[in-house]
Chains A and B, each alone.
Chain A
Amino acid sequence: MENGLERGIFELLCYMIVSARNLDQETKMYGPFRLVDAASRLIEILEESGIGDEFLSQVRSMIEANKYKVMTDKEGFVAFLDDLALKMVGRLKEAE
């Protein structure tokens, strides 16, 4: 795996598969955390490969700024996920 994109995607897959295995025994809120963290990692890979865009970079910044609320502020974490979901919906709607 010399290619950075290939390696990045492979390592992301490892992360997702091991997360699926470990989440069986972990706290329930780590499920949403791992998913949104995987989204951030995917955007980072796209950015490093020159195929990201400004909108996705904003999404990643939002994730990085808010993801650790899962440990100290569960309601705030869920509210952040709601805001993020609506941001994605706004982009979906624009693409109609």
Chain B
Amino acid sequence: MRVFEAIKGRRSIRRFENRSVDKKVLQKLVEAGIWAPSGGNAQTWVFIIVTDPRRIQKIKAVSPGMLGIPSALIVVCQDKELAYEKGGEIGRDTLSIMDAAMASQNIMLRAYEERLGSCAVLSFHKKGVQTLLNLPERIVPELVICLGYPAESPKPPERKFEEICFFEEH
């Protein structure tokens, strides 16, 4: 699959088939995530793969942004203590979030290549998810990526290239 085909074809999916996703496929997605760039090559990310339906249901209960019933989750976290050690305040407070976002995009593109639907969710209770996943305090969940075989194919919202892209000056 060509990269741009995946970039344009990926949609946020909020309805999934009731069908499990192979754990090896999920590991491949994380592998794509860790090949994303990271500020100062910090690589302070941590990924939790969740496939237990009951645990997914509990995480969903504290994640208003999670819609539909995904078959798996990849919770993209950052080790904030390590991010501070490696990158100081900007590493902990800014770069680590950007790194999590870049890794997440890689994960979602690879998911598309595997014919999986995905949706990145930020609206969740961070401490609630930390508790449900037994994460130590320094490991903070930044994004929850919902995954599963898509049961919908939403139309892409319009993009306005001419209005937002400039050469040389605004």
Contacts and interface: CB of A to CB of B under 8 A. Distances in A.
Chain A partners chain B: yes
B interface: dominant SS: loop
Interface string A1-35: 00000000011001100110110001000100010
Given A21-B125, A26-B123, A72-B157, A15 B14 contact: no
B61 A15 contact: yes
Interface of B: 14, 57-58, 60-64, 67, 123-125, 128, 154, 157
A18 B128 contact: yes
Given A26-B123, A72-B157, A19 B57 contact: no
Interface of A: 10-11, 14-15, 18-19, 21-22, 26, 30, 34, 37, 68, 71-72
Nearest to A71: B157
A contact patch SS: helix
Given A18-B63, A68-B14, 7 more contacts: A11-B61, A18-B125, A18-B128, A22-B124, A22-B125, A30-B123, A37-B67
Contacts, number: 32
Sort A-B residue pairs by CB-CB distance and give the 6 closest, nearest first.
A14-B61, A11-B61, A19-B64, A18-B125, A18-B62, A72-B157
Contacts of A21: 125
Contacts of A15: 61-62, 64
B129 to A, nearest CB: 10
